[in-house]
Amino acid sequence: MRRRYDTSQIPLHNQQICAILQDELRGQSALYGRRLTYPRLKQLGVPVAQNRMYEQVRELDPDGVTSRQFARQNIPRGEHQVAGPNRVMSVDGHHKLTMYGFEVHAGIDAYSRYITWIHVGISTRTAVAVLRSYLDHLSEHRTLPYTIRSDRGTETHMMANAHCQLHQELNPDTAWSDHYWYGTSTANQRIESWWRHMSKGQTIAWKVCI
């Protein structure tokens, strides 16, 4: 059975949706794109079909739609295979907001892309904060990641030492390189991919303002 509705009300409803979208596109929602804008409208209690909302977004923000499509097509993609969950934890820092006085560090499970922990703090205590965030994760989940992948930043040395010592308690003959991998931040694909999503959806506006 088809739902019956008054078609004469559609133009008025479109005008209301257009006004709401214009207000949202002036704020943080301008970075969301259509896939995140639709849940946002649902949170506001606005009844609208996805296709109608997509058409409105294309009309109101054609430059934004084009830029997001271009950015999505130019993301470098490489093959990255992980044996299973908790096998590799990718850890990295996001330093793009250092000019505001804080830095972001996080760990992500390279298999499931689950954010295992995240910390926002000042740089003078980052190494201690990263170690504490890692130990809090172990205490909460009661599981020890087999391998951690990070760069050689000064903020990861304490965490690397603690991680390898914990594995040596389980197996004294284990080597450092078996459970901790160093490499460049750009090659740390899982966490770098998440930074791109966070930047595109939330923090890019702050960087552009600078």
The model's pLDDT over 83-124, given as tens digits with 9 standing for 90+, comes to: 788 899 999 888 777 777 778 899 999 888 899 999 988 875
Distance, in Å, from the CA atom of 181 to the CA atom of 187, rounded to the nearest integer, reads 12
Task: Give the pLDDT confidence score for residue 162 in this predicted structure.
Answer: 95
| Residue 16 CA, distance from chain mean position | 32
Q: How confident is the model at residue 80 (pLDDT cuts 50, 70, 90)?
A: low
**Of the given ranges (6-15, 82-91, 182-191), which has the lowest mean pLDDT?**
6-15
- Average pLDDT taken over every residue of the chain: 78
The model's pLDDT over 19-62, given as tens digits with 9 standing for 90+, comes to: 777 777 666 555 566 666 777 777 777 777 777 777 777 777 77
Compute the Cα dihedral for 94, 193, 199, 43 and give only its sign.
negative
CA distances from 99 to 20, 31, 206 (A): 33, 21, 10
Task: Give the pLDDT confidence score for residue 83 in this predicted structure.
Answer: 78
Task: Give the pLDDT confidence score for residue 1 in this predicted structure.
Answer: 45
pTM of the prediction?
Answer: 0.60
Task: Give the pLDDT confidence score for residue 53 in this predicted structure.
Answer: 76
In the chain, % of residues over pLDDT 90: 25
Q: How confident is the model at residue 169 (pLDDT cuts 50, 70, 90)?
A: very high
Residue written as tokens 């490499």?
A: 183
Task: Give the pLDDT confidence score for residue 154 in this predicted structure.
Answer: 86
Distance, in Å, from the CA atom of 41 to the CA atom of 21, rounded to the nearest integer, reads 9
